A = this chain, B = another copy of it.
Amino acid sequence: MLEIAILIFDGTTHLDSVGPYEVLHNLPDAEVNFVAKKAGTYRDKCGMLGLRADFTLDQVTAPDIVVVPGGGGADAAAEDTQITDWVADVHERSTWTTSVCTGALILGGAGVLRGLQATTHWRAMDALRNVHGAVPVNERVVRQGKVITAAGVSSGIDMALTLAAEVAGKEVAEAIQLGIEYDPQPPFNAGKFTEAPDHRIALWRSGINKTKR
C-alpha cells in the first residue's frame, strides 16, 4: 500500500489538493486519506465549496506521501501547532513531503523548509524567506531531496505528475496524464507572476468577487 495523506483545514483552496489528488490516487496501490484536526466538511475561504476530511491527524501517523495544500487559511494553519506538529512528525518518516501554493507556509511553520530552496504562491514568496528561512525560487516545482514545493493553486497537477514518475516510473505518470487528459491550453498567457503587469496584480489583489457564504 502507498499511503498518501492530504491535509485539510479551514480556508483550504480545494484545487490545491484536488489537482494532486486526481493524479496521485491513480498510483498503484495508492490509498489517499484526507486528514484534518477533526473529521468533517472543510470550506474554502468564500465558503461555497466544502470537501470532506475523513480522518483526524492522530489517525494518520506514517503516510508515505504528505501533500499540504494552501489557501486563505494557510497563514493561520502555519501558526497552529497542532497542525505544524503533525506535519513535522509525519515528515520524519515520509518518503515524500510536498506542498502546493501557500501550503509551503505550513511546511515552513513545521520547520521543514529551513535552508531549502522552495516555491509557493507569489503572494507568499517573501514570507518563505523572512519567516521560514527558506530560499524562495521562482519555479513551478522545486525539489530538494524528499521535499517538493509547488507554486500557486494549479501547479499541484504539475508537481503531482513529477512525483508520480518518481514513485511509479514515467510510463505510469504518462498514462495518468493521458487519463486526466492534461494537455493544458490556457486561452490567455496570464498565469506567470514574473510577467504580470501591475494592473493585473492589483485587480487580483482587490478581490474581484466580494461574495461570501
Please give the residue numbers on chain A whose beta carbons come within 8 Å of chain B beta carbons, in ascending order: 1, 13-15, 18-19, 21-22, 25-34, 41, 46, 48-52, 54, 101, 121-122, 140-141, 151-155, 157-158, 161-162, 165, 168, 170-188, 190-193, 196, 199-201, 203-204, 208-209, 211, 213
Report yes or no: B173 in contact with A152, Cβ–Cβ below 8 A: no
Known contacts A27-B209, A34-B49, A161-B188; A172 and B15 CB within 8 A of each other:
no
Which chain B residue shows the least CB distance to A49? B21
Task: Give A183 to B34 CA distance when docked, in angstroms.
Answer: 26
Report yes or no: B209 in contact with A190, Cβ–Cβ below 8 A: no
Report yes or no: A174 in contact with B162, Cβ–Cβ below 8 A: no
What are the residues of chain B within 8 A of A171 when measuring CB–CB?
199-200, 203
**A102, chain B: closest CB distance, angstroms:** 11
Task: Give A53 to B28 CA distance when docked, in angstroms.
Answer: 30
Copies in the complex: 2
Report yes or no: B208 in contact with A172, Cβ–Cβ below 8 A: yes
Task: Give A162 to B30 CA distance when docked, in angstroms.
Answer: 34
Task: Give A172 to B203 CA distance when docked, in angstroms.
Answer: 8
What are the residues of chain B within 8 A of A101 when measuring CB–CB?
181
What are the residues of chain B within 8 A of A193 when measuring CB–CB?
178, 181
Report yes or no: B46 in contact with A54, Cβ–Cβ below 8 A: no
What are 23 contact pairs spanning A and B, CB under 8 A? A13-B22, A15-B19, A15-B21, A21-B49, A27-B208, A31-B48, A41-B41, A51-B51, A52-B52, A101-B181, A152-B180, A153-B179, A153-B181, A154-B183, A168-B208, A174-B190, A175-B190, A177-B186, A178-B196, A178-B201, A178-B204, A181-B192, A182-B186
Q: Which of A1, A172, A179, A200 is the most central at the interface, judged by chain B CB atoms within 10 Å of its CB? A: A179
Report yes or no: A209 in contact with B49, Cβ–Cβ below 8 A: no
Contact with A180, one of B31, B154, B162, B176 (Cβ below 8 angstroms) = B154
Report yes or no: A28 in contact with B208, Cβ–Cβ below 8 A: yes
Known contacts A25-B48, A180-B152, A193-B181; A175 and B187 CB within 8 A of each other:
no
